[in-house]
Amino acid sequence: MGRPPLHALQGFVLAARVGNLTRAAEASHLTVSALSHQIRQLEQGLGYRLFERSARGVQLTEAGRDLLQQIGPALDQIEASLRPSGRQPHVLSISLLPSMGNAWLLPRLSSFVECCPEIELSLRSEANLVDFQREIGLDAALRFGPGQWPGVEALHLFDDSLTPVISPALAQRLQLGDKYELARLPLLGDPAGRWGDWFRRFETGPAPKRFVASFTDSESLQRAAAEGLGVALGRMTLIRPLLESGRLITLSQQRLESEFAHYLVWPGRSSQRAAFLAFRDWIAEQARHYRVQLQAEDEARNAAEPRAAE
């Protein structure tokens, strides 16, 4: 085929990133039928299918994923070059999960301010996925997930794990000794619903079907556990400040690996910004130090297990 029209490529990239033709059409100020027609013409010209269509939306084919990877960053750069911008080059906008920000990033952020005092940070606490196509003023996001998101680059920071935690006051009220039945303790439902996995792997019986309380976010879960409401299956990265302050204690030496990991995610256009590159290098180094710390703690815990069992 001849050179594909730019608007058709833009429509394809947007539909691929949002995974929904209706939303992509609204963002492009087109009707759904007009956008569908553009994509069909593009597929006919290329000679292969870009999407598999279903009632739940559109999914990229393997050829579609390859095309998105090739042209997505280039279109981002073209759009960024043509778009008038009032943004200052020293301002850096980062989206982050509130729990991750409070527990891990903020305690370390002063070192970034010291090494890069010329950069002004704008931090946005939000749990929703980021649409970088619409959020053109956003440079990057800190997210907890599988590490594969269409149309963006991702840097793996570190993995995470889970373990039961309780407040010292509640442990004292329950008169917990060395031997206890976890299923009989007041358990708090966790957002990821991993209690079943914990009991299948580490306990002798099934997980209880009823919890004292359940939560949809990790921040509330941790606070409830620290206030003595019940036993939480805490994510180690997030509960570390509460463990170090003594507001929570662990009930087990065991660790359940998390299904997801922590990532820095950004669109291709951010790679052109010196402020973002400085932040990416800094957080990569912070994450490296943290991984070393986690490895040392794992080795110390594993070395102590045989002595604890004697």
Closest CA to 219 of 144, 112, 114: 144
Give the tens place of pLDDT for each residue, 129-166. Answer: 788 877 888 999 999 998 888 888 999 999 999 999 99
Is 144 within 8 Å of 97 (Cβ atoms)?
yes
Is 93 within 8 Å of 124 (Cβ atoms)?
yes
- The one-letter amino acid at 276: F
Using the predicted structure, report yes or no on whether residue 224 has a pLDDT greater than 50: yes
Give the tens place of pLDDT for each residue, 18-29. Answer: 777 887 777 777
203 phi, psi to nearest 5 deg: -110, 170
Question: Whole-angstrom Cα distance, residue 164 to residue 176?
Answer: 14
Using the predicted structure, report yes or no on whether residue 85 has a pLDDT greater than 60: no
User: Mean pLDDT of all residues in the chain?
Assistant: 87
Using the predicted structure, report yes or no on whether residue 219 has a pLDDT greater than 90: no
Residues 196-209 have a mean pLDDT of 90
Is 226 within 8 Å of 247 (Cβ atoms)?
yes
- The one-letter amino acid at 310: E
Percent of the chain whose predicted confidence (pLDDT) is above 70: 93
Residues 1-15 have a mean pLDDT of 78
Is 120 within 8 Å of 90 (Cβ atoms)?
yes
Range scoring the smallest mean pLDDT among 64-73, 111-120, 226-235, 244-253: 64-73
Q: Which domains does the chain have, with CATH numbers?
A: 6-82 (1.10.10.10), 88-310 (3.40.190.290)
Question: Whole-angstrom Cα distance, residue 130 to residue 117?
Answer: 27
Residues 270-296 have a mean pLDDT of 95
Q: What is the pLDDT of residue 92?
A: 94
